[in-house]
Structure 1
């Protein structure tokens, strides 16, 4: 357990309010859980969470990389409005965020695990706390000397961890050589158990964000999870694209990934390793849910499970994330389990977004959310699903030529993706290419119709629909007088 955790302060006038346990993973696509239909997954704990709550079947991230997507969780705004347009752009520490609003209402706000609202690359100074009362950091990258990696160093394990990280690469499977009790997932679950024990004797409501780095690459599962998945049993990546119709960014990524994605045995092993990391996260989630119940907190706690963005995982010949808008990259799990008294259960197929986290928490807590939110609450104050679903599409934003470009990179081009039940349209501002997929006839999105004459009217219609979506979701403050 961390030496710097400190004591959790008590005393609150809103002891009867709901608690919020926000469990989030990094780079997890929606179809790697049993509850979302995966036959390869071994995720009994998250599946049980979904069975006891509401599983949103069509949730899309606001941005397909970490920092912008995570900023959208806490602000309820799209990247074009909170300003974090790519990795390497830090969120303003004074930004209006949901946990800060909850603190103002008497909540204790804590984050254990990955936060990544500020830059972490080769960082040696502490991450800004961003308004959290308690921050116990584990970003997952050993170049970031966060609390977890300093703990590994004290136990004499950091140097070997870093050596394997450098040697293993980021595309192929290797087994992480570290005792299970020293793995970051164990470390995070240990700290969450401690936090709940502190809450048992304190009536103050809490908002706790638990951030797992897994299943983000490298594809380095630890035993026993590494041996649980046979590559021969893994789902096959999506293939069959018309390469000449792909964007320059996709062609470049395909070329970079060809050594692995073009080799059936190698990509199957990588997919198996990814599923092993998901299974490891599931086991840690199971520990956390048991601890929540053991401390008597379950009956007053809303549990949320989601991920910041997806992982291509060999689909279309690519790995990882970036300026790509295929389902594997932008569609994520979204599960909400409300306390039993609310009786919110089932599967919902309406379009939801990661910008909906903050407004939904605000509605259930009965507090005012961050200013100028663009998301919507998925439930009303009584915990009932909205009876009128106003959104018929999902927006995903992007800016920049690539992910992790480095300091001084220009925020160009601006890219917007609109996903509807029938079409997916991707607009690249100022470019002579785009993307259009017929999701009904081509659910795997292998045939880009953007440049085909027969679909010019559809492209025009979707461009207009995208513009309308953007304009109708502009965050506007209310008028206070005539003039």
Structure 2
């Protein structure tokens, strides 16, 4: 590839994968040697936060570069509106061969195929709207771009990887943009269980327990061996894809990104696996290699998944559309801009109607005590619910909200959060101080 040729782009998107499953972020289980090597040779973003820790809203944000209240998918079960600024359409318009494989979750077709006009600009399509309904860990089906059913046997991660490999090996005379969207390590809904490939959970029968989970009621004790086994298999499959790129002679010409839509707190913070402002829910891995990202080390600044779409476009020489709320992360790889953010804004739905700020030191969260999280995308009134000092309490074991000693901190964060809500959503809400302490 000549210096002025646009790069290929491969995005590997996992579902419900915590940042600390990756060795480069400190996991001691040796689950991710492939992604760790990517971090060594490329760029690792240390503090990447999901703008909405829920499957469909987060995935819509990746496709649009917008907050949930802007793209409209503020909870599961809402169709992503078609628009010219969608990531797949942007790459297709720029002449890229586009492919999408795996879990979509942005239509309302359920187990029926997503129609071609709702495939968001992706030409090669091997996906299902709700993949956990069309498949189980060892068998199932997706649909192709014509709506024809494509069955698979064997482990689902392997099957999706094979579909991606076939796309990467296609004859083409133009660059490609491919999103491989695994369902894993998300639990299988109708089984209420995480399911690793045969024999993989046994390797992690005595797992490292993340400190935010240790000693806290939840289902981490029975889930971690399988969860870790799934993460290991995903990493092996990413290695297979890198070998495929090398075999095609395009490894050095391809940007490869590894990330997740949100994390999992294993029902330690609410009755869900996510849907909260805690690190286990909102913090995700983000590792990039290839043109523009080689040998850039670790980036400590706060970043959002909203930054991923404009970053990919920027790296491909495509001007990000003005509808995208994030900023290209390429600007962090030389000198950090003076106006880079010092907070990430988070929207919460379904478990509660909430909002949060994640700064370098603090997590501050609010909710509407009188509203269900499934009935409305926003509120005019919130109440303080969470305040964590990440410097003193990185595992969020002590909730400081309502504590007199932290009233000044809460006052400042309350104003900053209200400002963020007004900037993103257009209306400035009332945020009521907590009336008692929470621990």
The 1:369/1:233 distance shift into structure 2, 3 A limit, reads closer
Q: Kindly indicate whether residue 44 of structure 2 is the aligned counterpart of residue 44 of structure 1.
A: no
The 1:54/1:142 distance shift into structure 2, 3 A limit, reads closer
Q: Give the match's secondary structure for 1:23.
A: strand
Q: Is the 8 A contact 2:47 2:283 kept in 1?
A: yes
The 1:37/1:418 distance shift into structure 2, 3 A limit, reads same
Q: Kindly indicate whether residue 315 of structure 2 is the aligned counterpart of residue 330 of structure 1.
A: no
Match of 1:221 among 196, 205, 215: 196
Aligned to 1:125: 113
**What are the Cα deviations for residues 82-124 of structure 1, in whole angstroms up to 9, with x where unaligned?**
1111111221133621221121111111111122212364x32
Q: Kindly indicate whether residue 167 of structure 2 is the aligned counterpart of residue 195 of structure 1.
A: yes
- Over aligned residue pairs, what C-alpha RMSD do you find? 2.8
The 1:470/1:376 distance shift into structure 2, 3 A limit, reads farther
> Counterparts of 1:233 and 1:437 in 2: how far apart (Å)?
24
Q: Is the 8 A contact 1:41 1:275 kept in 2?
A: no
The 1:74/1:285 distance shift into structure 2, 3 A limit, reads same
How far did 1:473 drift?
A: 5.7
The 1:451/1:289 distance shift into structure 2, 3 A limit, reads same
Give the number of equivalent residue pairs.
395
> Counterparts of 2:129 and 2:204 in 1: how far apart (Å)?
26
Aligned to 2:377: none
Aligned to 2:88: 99
Q: Kindly indicate whether residue 344 of structure 2 is the aligned counterpart of residue 394 of structure 1.
A: yes
> Counterparts of 2:232 and 2:399 in 1: how far apart (Å)?
34
Q: Give the match's secondary structure for 1:150.
A: strand
Q: Give the match's secondary structure for 1:271.
A: helix
Range 53-62 or range 452-461, more displaced: 452-461
Aligned to 2:435: none
How far did 1:356 drift?
A: 0.5
Segments of 5+ residues of structure 1 without an aligned counterpart are 1-13, 153-157, 159-178, 242-257, 403-412, 476-483
> Counterparts of 1:120 and 1:236 in 2: how far apart (Å)?
39
How far did 1:285 drift?
A: 0.7
> Counterparts of 1:207 and 1:310 in 2: how far apart (Å)?
25
> Counterparts of 2:158 and 2:234 in 1: how far apart (Å)?
9
Q: Is the 8 A contact 2:258 2:287 kept in 1?
A: yes
Segments of 5+ residues of structure 2 without an aligned counterpart are 144-150, 188-192, 369-380, 427-439
How far did 1:183 drift?
A: 1.1
Match of 1:29 among 18, 26, 32: 18
Aligned to 1:135: 125
Q: Is the 8 A contact 1:221 1:277 kept in 2?
A: yes
> Counterparts of 2:112 and 2:134 in 1: how far apart (Å)?
7
Range 215-224 or range 14-23, more displaced: 14-23
How far did 1:62 drift?
A: 0.8
Q: Is the 8 A contact 2:114 2:128 kept in 1?
A: no
> Counterparts of 2:76 and 2:316 in 1: how far apart (Å)?
31
The 1:17/1:61 distance shift into structure 2, 3 A limit, reads same
**What are the Cα deviations for residues 198-257 of structure 1, in whole angstroms up to 9, with x where unaligned?**
1xx42201110011111001311121312211235544553578xxxxxxxxxxxxxxxx
> Counterparts of 1:459 and 1:96 in 2: how far apart (Å)?
37
**Which protein is bigger by CA-based radius of gyration?**
1
Aligned to 1:175: none
How far did 1:393 drift?
A: 1.2
Match of 1:426 among 361, 365, 385: 365
How far did 1:455 drift?
A: 2.3
Match of 1:362 among 300, 313, 318: 313
TM-score by length of 2: 0.82
Aligned to 1:5: none
How far did 1:318 drift?
A: 5.9
- Greater relative contact order (Cα < 8 A, sep 6+): 1
The structure with the greater share of residues assigned to helix is: 1
> Counterparts of 1:212 and 1:333 in 2: how far apart (Å)?
15
Aligned to 2:253: 300
Q: Is the 8 A contact 2:113 2:128 kept in 1?
A: no
Q: Kindly indicate whether residue 182 of structure 2 is the aligned counterpart of residue 209 of structure 1.
A: no
The 1:45/1:439 distance shift into structure 2, 3 A limit, reads same
> Counterparts of 2:317 and 2:310 in 1: how far apart (Å)?
10
The 1:95/1:223 distance shift into structure 2, 3 A limit, reads same
The structure with the greater share of residues assigned to strand is: 2
Q: Kindly indicate whether residue 141 of structure 2 is the aligned counterpart of residue 150 of structure 1.
A: yes
